[in-house]
Amino acid sequence: MPNIQTVTIVPNLPERLAPLMEIARNCWWTWTPEALYLFQDMDRDVWERTRHNPVALLGTIEQPRLEQLERDEIFLARMEGVKSELDRYLKAQTWYKKVKQDEDGGSIAYFSAEFGIHESLPLYSGGLGILAGDHMKSASDLGLPLFGVGLLYKHGYFKQYLNPDGWQLETYPSNDFYNMPLTPLKDESGESMMVQVQLADRVVHLKVWSLVVGRIKIYMLDTDVPLNSRMDRQITSYLYGGNLETRLQQEIVLGMGGIKVLKALNQMPTVCHMNEGHSAFMAIERLLQLVRNEGLGYDEALEAVRATSVFTTHTPVPAGIDRFPPDLMRRYFTNIANELGIGIERFLDLGRIYPGNTSEDFCMAVLAIKMASQTNGVSKLHGEVSRKMWADIWPQIPKHEVPITHITNGIHTLGWLSSEMSRLYQRYLGSRWIDEPANHAIWKRVEHIPAFELWRSRERLRERLISFARARLKEQLESKGAPKYQLKVADEVLDPEALTIGFARRFATYKRATLLFKDVERLKKILTNEERPVQIIFSGKAHPQDKYGKELIHKVVQMANTPEFRMHVVFIENYDIEVARYLVQGVDVWLNTPRRPMEASGTSGMKVPANGGLNLSILDGWWVEGYSGENGWAIGAGEEYEDHEYQDEVESRLLYELLENTVVPLFYTRSTHNIPHGWVEMMKKSILSLCPYFNTNRMVEEYSKRFYLPNISRWHLLAKDGWKEAKEVSRWKKHVMEVWHKVKINDVQIPLNGSPKVGDRLPIKAVVDLGELSPEEIRVDAYIGRLDDKGELPEGHPLPLLPTGERQEGGYVFQGTLLCLSSGLIGFTIRCYPFRKELGHKFELGLLTWWESK
């Protein structure tokens, strides 16, 4: 084979057009319409051909056109305007600077296996990546000192196409990193920056790329370098590809390699956020860094790492969590466990629900939970599901008090908003909504938008979606060699004036894409009513190994190809950010039919309200919190069924009834000016109630206030004076674990003279033997609630009892007052647990002693 050398060719831009490259290399353009229009107007054909990638556009566009643009004063003025707006954005005062004014504020590293920034960067598969991308955009808007850390996949996720029979097939086109808004980092000698990570018996080299998203950077790790073996070059080849060992290797590269990269860049974070369990090994590398460089023991290092790590779980079912066999883990982590001084079995217990169970696989979510001071689900309902799912990690803790909270997801509003609606909001809301998308008072001005203007905008967006769908359908047919008469039909499918429903997401069985086809005859009557027609646009991918998901797609496509549905049902191939953008902007109704409670959050429906669309959904995920009864529709009342067949039957009928009796009539009940005033009123209520809350600016602010800022302070406290506090907390925990068995609740006194009445106050006194602990090191609660059929307290609530300073025979006295709020049989008991203000949550040690009868 000949010796091949490489050279990177860069676009040859005339000097006056140089600002274009600076704009193109900052993904701020992805949510800035003026920047998008600027690139699009340079050459629309090339813009489409390069998948809306400005870097590829600038490298592909012909030189005569560049010279023409160099002489175009109007274009140059637009370019300067966009560049000035970017400069203003980068220098503007931010929310974070206002709330955190001290200079040494620390930094946050956000780890994710995928980032969905834009369709020109196919480094994502679905909701997890889209959420991560929107998190980055809002972190930029808010000015957080945050870095993203991810993997740079040579082939990314697959590109979907359907064979003539409607079966999903996959291709894996290569990503050309040098023609994307990515920059390879250089070391001091000007060579490509490389970081090494140990994988079992060998070293793997990681090349580091930077992706700029507004004010922040995402560092992407790439193993496809000549220094690595052919096998190791494949580690970052496919997103969620390869076998179980490849997945383990990817997660070591992401977590441990990510920390090594930040250290090499002198940007070691004070707080680390794990977006799903894929990146949990970052905590292991943080431990190693503290043991090696700060001279801390394992337990002391663990205090610092755990106190400053955050874990967000997105998965409501155990089957969706990465687990690795113990023997595989031993091969990769025995040396690391020995260096930490804990041995491999104790190391493996970090990823086990039941420590000491040597047959249990190593679970990444369990590792993440045990390494984080805060764990959260992504909706209120998902928080409840997660507490039940992981309750066995804390066997003594009541399930509803398991220390897993929730922060409901959101979307980056600007990134998903149509220019049509953006202009409307500018006119009636002013410009402040762009910088303050979570400001309820600003969104209240939506009430002043005239109904006819809001409706005309909705109609234009639907027309644009129909045009896009027809063009895509025609492309799909041409690629399959369809005859001309079929191509002609593609130009006529769908009606720009008909009620348009969208259903687009990952085709997993629990999302029930075919629920709508449960009664084909009934659906046919709904869709093909000549006076009130309805149409549905489907899109979505099934995982390559998900046979049942592929069967769902096949069924939808088969139905769409029947004569009755051909003009009313369309499936758009290769669901990506571009397709999603057209759909969420153009549909009248967004349909979501998950099997409750399996939808952790589901952000796709959040993207619809700002564009004037309405949600029709099962009460699952975010819609449980969003639905008010006036801002969309709920299928059912939040019931959960054990019999899935019965559930599908019931909920499909409810769906048909909603469409027949409520949704369709409301859409087609028009005024003399052909405006559906009832529908427009519901649109306004949807915008007003959902947009200010379900956005990532609110979400990231919540992460900052509840997690990031307290954890930054905790890091500084622990690190002060040579990690004095971390060492002290570690010693204290070890001492508590050794002596806690001596803690006993010896006596409980509550005067019950007759039956207390509602409104009465009952004094409660408990005598607690603290063993070797002091009253300041313990918290005592009266635990009160209604009894269940078994005489137990499944959903009690704690009432703190305070130390009196008094000692009696049997221990210290703690007391409080019980307020009788309601009548009926009430149960109560007493419990206590260790306390120290530095703990991330009150049950961090997992110790809880209950009052037991002697």
Tens digits of residue pLDDT in 428-446: 999 889 889 999 999 999 9
Please write the tens of the pLDDT for every residue from 378-405.
999 999 999 999 999 999 899 999 999 9
Comparing 260-269, 616-625, 811-820, the range with the smallest average pLDDT is 811-820
pLDDT band at 312 (very low <50, low <70, confident <90, very high): very high
Do the Cβ atoms of 526 and 599 come closer than 8 Å? no
Q: Check residue 2 and give its pLDDT.
A: 62
- 182 has a pLDDT exceeding 90: yes
Backbone angles phi, psi at 723, to 5 degrees: 65, 35
pLDDT band at 8 (very low <50, low <70, confident <90, very high): low
Q: What is the C-alpha separation between 221 and 150, in angstroms, rounded?
A: 6
- The proportion of the chain whose per-residue pLDDT surpasses 90, expressed as a percent, equals 85
Q: Check residue 527 and give its pLDDT.
A: 97
Q: Check residue 788 and give its pLDDT.
A: 82
Do the Cβ atoms of 61 and 48 come closer than 8 Å? no
Do the Cβ atoms of 615 and 399 come closer than 8 Å? no
> How many CB atoms are located within 10 Å of the residue 759 CB?
8
Q: pTM, whole model, 2 decimals? A: 0.95
Count how many Cα atoms sit within 13 Å of the Cα of residue 491 in the half-sphere of its side chain: 4
Largest CA distance in the chain: 98
Q: Check residue 675 and give its pLDDT.
A: 97
Handedness of CA 516, 518, 520, 524 (dihedral sign): negative
Q: Average pLDDT of the chain?
A: 94
- 143 has a pLDDT exceeding 60: yes
Q: What is the C-alpha separation between 765 and 818, in angstroms, rounded?
A: 11
> What is the identity of the amino acid at 333?
F
Q: Check residue 320 and give its pLDDT.
A: 83
Q: Check residue 387 and give its pLDDT.
A: 96
Q: Check residue 266 and give its pLDDT.
A: 94
Strand, helix or coil for residue 350: coil
Q: Which whole number is the average pLDDT over 13-17?
A: 92
Backbone angles phi, psi at 805, to 5 degrees: 90, -10
> How many CB atoms are located within 10 Å of the residue 344 CB?
16
Which has more confidence, 582 or 4? 582
Backbone angles phi, psi at 354, to 5 degrees: -115, 90
Comparing 301-310, 314-323, 389-398, the range with the smallest average pLDDT is 314-323
- 146 has a pLDDT exceeding 90: yes
Q: Check residue 10 and give its pLDDT.
A: 60
Q: Check residue 785 and give its pLDDT.
A: 87
Please write the tens of the pLDDT for every residue from 466-483.
999 999 999 998 888 888
- 777 has a pLDDT exceeding 80: yes
Q: Which whole number is the average pLDDT over 727-735?
A: 95
pLDDT band at 268 (very low <50, low <70, confident <90, very high): very high
Helix segments in 417-519, DSSP class H: 419-429, 432-435, 440-443, 451-479, 484-490
Please write the tens of the pLDDT for every residue from 336-371.
999 999 999 999 999 999 999 999 999 999 999 999
List Cβ neighbours of 239 (8 Å cut-off, separation of 6 or more): 113, 114, 123, 124, 125, 151, 153, 155, 156, 157
Q: What is the C-alpha separation between 223 and 199, in angstroms, rounded?
A: 12
Q: Which two tokens stand for residue 215?
A: 């004010």
- 280 has a pLDDT exceeding 70: yes
If you compute the radius of gyration of the chain from its CA atoms, what whole number of angstroms results? 29
Q: Which whole number is the average pLDDT over 708-734?
A: 94
- 103 has a pLDDT exceeding 70: no
CA distances from 531 to 216, 527, 566, 646, 668 (A): 52, 10, 18, 33, 9
Q: Check residue 7 and give its pLDDT.
A: 54
Do the Cβ atoms of 289 and 124 come closer than 8 Å? no
pLDDT band at 559 (very low <50, low <70, confident <90, very high): very high
Q: Which whole number is the average pLDDT over 189-216?
A: 96
- The proportion of the chain whose per-residue pLDDT surpasses 70, expressed as a percent, equals 98
- 11 has a pLDDT exceeding 80: no
List Cβ neighbours of 432 (8 Å cut-off, separation of 6 or more): 439, 442
Please write the tens of the pLDDT for every residue from 571-608.
999 999 999 999 999 999 999 999 999 999 999 999 99
